[in-house]
């Protein structure tokens, strides 16, 4: 059974916290309001376990996926929200500029922008802290049933999934989101060790 030590988990949580702090600041500047993004917990799971995580099965979701290649290995990161949460985020970001019945028309563009900011912040900080060169692909948007997403994005058998729970707070709203970070387990393990050494400095 693949597992991470508490110290390895802490180093990865710190990577996500640093990245989300920067992303929240940038997003706050975009909408002239304070956004708080935090990482309450992190889990290492298999693709099979991902199918039933957090009661997401049979739920409608929206995701932005960012594939990457480089010294860390080839992998994928994607940001996921429940459909209802994604529409709430769009309403908050667009403020009063659009009517409620028009929100869904802007969903893809708004979430793509959010995903691009958050996932790029994570990958750029990962590259900076680990000294790995990372190249990213064009982000992809997906809206549909969670199980269809998992089937379409099913990782290779030797890959593990870092599931990062995030809290997204704006204007008194508290929205739960997820970051799925899919990568070979040995690469995740090596990355955590690199981060431990880097964060000690």
Mean pLDDT in consecutive groups of 10 residues from the start of the chain, 201 residues: 85 91 84 82 87 82 91 89 82 63 70 88 88 88 86 71 89 84 90 85 68
Closest among 120, 149, 150 to 137, alpha carbons compared: 120
pLDDT at site 170: 77
The backbone torsions φ and ψ at residue 144, rounded to the nearest 5 degrees and listed phi first, read: 165, -160
pLDDT at site 98: 58
Give, for 44, the enclosing helix (H) or strand (E): strand 36-45
For the whole model, what pTM was predicted?
0.87
pLDDT at site 97: 60
Cβ(24)–Cβ(35) below 8 Å = yes
How many angstroms separate the Cα of 186 from the Cα of each of 3, 117, 190?
A: 10, 27, 6
The superfamily (CATH) of domain 6-200 is CheC-like (3.40.1550.10)
Structure tokens at 176: 């739960």
pLDDT at site 113: 85
């Amino acid at each position: 059974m693949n597992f991470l030590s508490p110290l390895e988990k802490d180093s990865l949580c710190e990577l996500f916290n640093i990245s989300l702090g920067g992303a929240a600041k940038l997003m706050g500047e975009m909408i002239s309001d304070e956004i708080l993004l935090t990482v309450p917990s992190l889990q290492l799971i298999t693709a099979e376990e991902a199918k039933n995580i957090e009661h997401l099965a049979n739920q409608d979701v929206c995701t932005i996926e960012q594939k990457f290649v480089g010294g860390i290995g080839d992998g994928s990161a994607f940001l996921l929200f429940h459909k209802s949460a994604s529409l709430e985020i769009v309403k908050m970001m667009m403020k009063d500029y659009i009517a409620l019945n028009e929100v869904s028309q802007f969903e893809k563009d708004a979430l793509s922008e959010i995903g691009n900011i958050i996932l790029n912040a994570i990958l750029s900080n990962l590259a900076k802290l680990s000294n790995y060169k990372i190249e990213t692909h064009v982000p992809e948007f997906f809206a549909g049933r969670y199980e269809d997403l998992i089937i379409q994005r099913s990782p290779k058998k030797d890959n593990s999934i870092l599931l990062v729970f995030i809290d997204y707070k704006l204007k008194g709203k508290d929205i739960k989101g997820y970051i799925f970070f899919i990568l070979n387990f040995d690469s995740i393990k090596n990355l955590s060790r690199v981060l431990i050494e880097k964060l000690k400095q």
